[in-house]
Structure 1
Amino acid sequence: MLKKSVNSLLTTWLAGLIVLLPLTLTLVLLTWVVSLLNRVIGPSTYIGGVFAAMGQPFATNTYLAYGLGTVLLVVAIYVLGLAVQLGLRKPLAWLTDVTLRRIPLFGKLYNLADRFVALLDKKEGADINAMSPVWCFFSGDGVAVLALMPNPEPIDIDGRHYYAVLVPTAPIPIGGGLLYVPVEWVKPANIGVDAFTSIYVSMGINPPPNSPRKTE
């Protein structure tokens, strides 16, 4: 009896801990990020001193100057973003290629950082939205597979035309396998990408909005 009571109390306590744990971890992570930023770019650091120096013409107080310098830097980055959106990306990339990338050691570090940022900047949703949902009938009259076709242009493989299709892995539509399927096996699915994604995310619980109809 006592063991059951202890188990019940422990189970209840663990249930409360599980509910509280995400919030606790979030606060711990937020505290760590703020502490890290303070150590890296806080008012007492070298970078913080640069920010303060930027704001000193407008304020005499050290912390106020640091805040103004930070605001100026944020505004400057925003202006740079506007310049990129207005078509200056290529000139800026060319300037980087002929300057920063040619510096020994620093250029290699910059290339590594640039590749990492490029991975973070990838818009997976935009890539999926550019594809077309299709039905693939394997063997021409066999298993029907719902896939994405990234390119409507067929390719020639050993004298036969094929489409490149991506068959996702449920429930993560952005993963899967790349298959080359004969063009006569592929039919338009006539559904949107959102419906396609919902089918895979639900692992097939959500049916296709319309049934495929094969044409001879």
Structure 2
Amino acid sequence: METTIPVANRIIRESIKRKAKDAEVVLDLHRSSYKLLSLIPHLASGEDIQAVDLGWMRDLIDVPVSSRARVITGEVFLLCYLGFLLRELKDFWRVALLISIILHPIDISDSAEDENSKLEKQRDLFNAVENSITKLGLEKVWEVKPLINGKDIMTVLQLKGGPLVKEWLDKTMAWQLAYPSGTAEECLEWLREANSKRVKLE
């Protein structure tokens, strides 16, 4: 059975003679750019985040919203979704954003004069989204150290390892993104409460 190889992989590895890892980076950038694309309207103008399909993130986030959270309910989803996305992209997030801006539709006519207008609008849109990400404090989010680690989770929840540890690590990072001033003790307290609720529902 033949294995299907993405065109980008073949071009980068065979034609340009770059490493396989470079090909994966290119593919990840393009995948992420489409995820960013759906967030551009909200990040640029504050459009209702409920209109955006955040997919798997809705199952991941179990963060209670209170007066201590820095964002309202809809913003929690945006913040966590974007935070996880940028943690994957790291320093390449602006490259992914640039690709997203190029893909984002801009209303102009076909005249050459309006082509310059399109470039200006794309530049302004890029700057607006970049500023929003900076204001959210996510421009270096991959450098944020988790408040608790896998060992803490296994101890508190009496787990021996497995996929549940990774799931709770993601959930606690989502909590941390929503509560940037929260402490490790507060995160552990939330972890116990969230797990208790989960056990009752099972």
TM bucket (normalised to shorter chain) is under 0.3
Structure number with higher strand proportion: 1
Q: Which has the higher contact order (CA 8 A, sep 6+)?
A: 2
Which of structures 1 and 2 has the bigger CA Rg?
1
TM-score, normalised to structure 2, is: 0.23
